[in-house]
Amino acid sequence: MSTAQLDFDEWFQSTVAHTTAVLDEFLPAVDEGHQRLHEAMRYAVLGPGKRVRAALVYAAGEASLEAGSAASAQREGLDYAAAAVEMIHAYSLVHDDLPCMDDDDLRRGRPTVHRRFNEATAMLAGDALQPLAFELLAQMPVAPALIVQAVQLLARSAGSFGMAGGQAIDCDSVGQVLQSEALQQMHRMKTGAMLEASVLLGGIVAGAGSAVREGLEAYAAAVGLAFQVVDDILDVTSDTVTLGKTVGKDAASDKPTYVSVMGLTGSRELLASLREQAHEALRPLGPTACRLGGIADFIVGRNH
Amino acid sequence: MSTAQLDFDEWFQSTVAHTTAVLDEFLPAVDEGHQRLHEAMRYAVLGPGKRVRAALVYAAGEASLEAGSAASAQREGLDYAAAAVEMIHAYSLVHDDLPCMDDDDLRRGRPTVHRRFNEATAMLAGDALQPLAFELLAQMPVAPALIVQAVQLLARSAGSFGMAGGQAIDCDSVGQVLQSEALQQMHRMKTGAMLEASVLLGGIVAGAGSAVREGLEAYAAAVGLAFQVVDDILDVTSDTVTLGKTVGKDAASDKPTYVSVMGLTGSRELLASLREQAHEALRPLGPTACRLGGIADFIVGRNH
């Protein structure tokens, strides 16, 4: 393992730990307000997770900050933005696991929220995590005009033209044959939109100029798709213990996936090319973008 | 009927019509993005409705704008804020009607969203309406600092310390005996928070100073509670056709209500005193607050 790799692993681990601490702080305490709801929100968000979206926020922020700038307000702002994208991600998993959607019992190796609590509490916990994300963005200690951009981006990415829309296409495509292009479009919305938003939020909060934003966008688009291709590959090649959720679920429910549409080999080839695209997009950004490169490699190489 | 009453009725009717047109414009078109999801979102929002929250935004805006000021940006901003609160309200009804919550078949005299579409689509339509509300606030043509205040207020009011939290208490209180104070607290969160937010958003967008904001807050608190007291009274005194939703539902499901806690007479007395409080709070605001007074009377007097 190279020094760069060891260095990235260390950064990534410390970012996961930092993110978890930040989420813990920003989530409502159990003894404030409605105890059971807050318990469910904390359970949904604080379980073991890769925190890839938060890492993308921090890495994109790093790549966008002026080299050597202290920029402590921006750094603090990144905490809010990182927590916001993780709240949205967590809510989407809680709702996705409900009986009327994927009906999953396991998530990250633990009972899903509706199994641990009940369906109504799971739905409401998801419903309450979503506005919390926007509240956090509104609290960022950066210029109001940047907050407005961030709210607009997160809202668009989570809504019917982003994550929720992709989810709806996914639900309605069960049992159908999707063409490669339609599948790509669905994943761009369902998973890609929020991964891209994470990258761009980091740029917005850190005050990235338009050239840097363009690089971030191209990187984000490649990484967003790569993430889903890996997910689909793991659904057929991993096992339930390693993955922490039920494997073979998509195949069993007859959902179109990259593997079902382009085969295992085709999916792996696509993945290699997306990785190349991600690194290509970072080239103009220089050495501060190295964390983003590391995350692209991590996403492509992950086994759970 | 007095001239003032006729005048209010006319204003209210035209505000309902205006709000519906604004919502129609701000909702995604059916042929953009995912057709079925957008159909469900439009069905949820554009059905017949009293649009009380939107009316509160406009009336509070009216009460806060400088007399005679043109303030066209603020007026346009009120459209976005009014649409945002209606989107949040509509999402909450869609989720509230789902089988894991109230399991209702009828809403405003029509099949509920999950009956007309399916459960997954209903959940996702609600999930997508929520970020749309925040996106609309972010698009208001007013100072970014005011948008940030608006986002913070809406997020707080919709989240676990507001509407979603109240909903969770409501779910968990089925079959329990709530004291009058606990019941009040639950309704302050469940219904009151968003009604109050509507009033305060109107004030924020129209640039209300702190004295006006204080008046609006006191008014909003009284009206928020009054709304729920009326709901509980109607649940036992109205019929399904007039109400457009299943009556006797709360009583049948053993949910604590104002009527079950303080009886019909006690509830009506409380209502009269809340109406008085609302008008009292408006007194310092002068004649531009007359629409707010009219809405308080309308809420107390409504029969569906």
Hey, is the C-beta of A115 within 8 angstroms of any chain B C-beta?
A: no
Hey, is the C-beta of B50 within 8 angstroms of any chain A C-beta?
A: no
Residues 6+ apart with CB under 8 A from A110: A47, A48, A116
Hey, is the C-beta of A119 within 8 angstroms of any chain B C-beta?
A: yes
Q: Closest Cα of chain A to B181: distance in Å?
A: 15
Where does the pLDDT of residue A214 fall: very low under 50, low under 70, confident under 90, or very high at 90 and above? very high
CB contact under 8 A, B160 and A41: yes
The radius of gyration of chain A's CA atoms, rounded to the nearest angstrom, is 18
Per DSSP, the three-state class of A252 is: helix
Counted domains in chain A: 1
Counting residues of chain B whose pLDDT is more than 70, the rounded percentage is 91
CB contact under 8 A, B101 and A95: no
Alpha carbon distance A295, A55 (integer Å) = 8
Beta-bridge partners for A110: A107
Residues 6+ apart with CB under 8 A from B275: B222, B226, B296, B297, B300
Q: Residue A126: list chain B partners with CB under 8 A.
A: 127
Hey, is the C-beta of B169 within 8 angstroms of any chain A C-beta?
A: yes
CB contact under 8 A, A134 and B134: yes
Where does the pLDDT of residue B170 fall: very low under 50, low under 70, confident under 90, or very high at 90 and above? confident
CB contact under 8 A, A151 and B147: yes
CATH number at residue B218: 1.10.600.10
- ipTM, two decimals, is 0.93
Q: Which domain holds residue B176?
A: 3-301
According to DSSP, residue B111 is labeled E
Q: Is the pLDDT of residue B294 over 90?
A: yes
CB-nearest partner of A100 from B120, B139, B143: B120
The dihedral through the CA atoms of B32, B38, B39, B45 has a sign that is: negative
Q: Closest Cα of chain A to B119: distance in Å?
A: 6
CB contact under 8 A, B134 and A132: no
Q: Taking each helix axis from N to C terminus, what angle separates B52-64 and B72-97, rounded to the nearest 10 degrees?
A: 160
Hey, is the C-beta of A185 within 8 angstroms of any chain B C-beta?
A: no
Give B196-237 pLDDT, tens digit per residue.
Answer: 999 999 999 999 999 999 999 999 999 999 998 998 899 888
Alpha carbon distance A300, A229 (integer Å) = 9
Alpha carbon distance A233, A266 (integer Å) = 11
Give A18-68 pLDDT, tens digit per residue.
Answer: 999 999 999 999 987 778 999 999 999 999 888 999 999 999 999 998 655
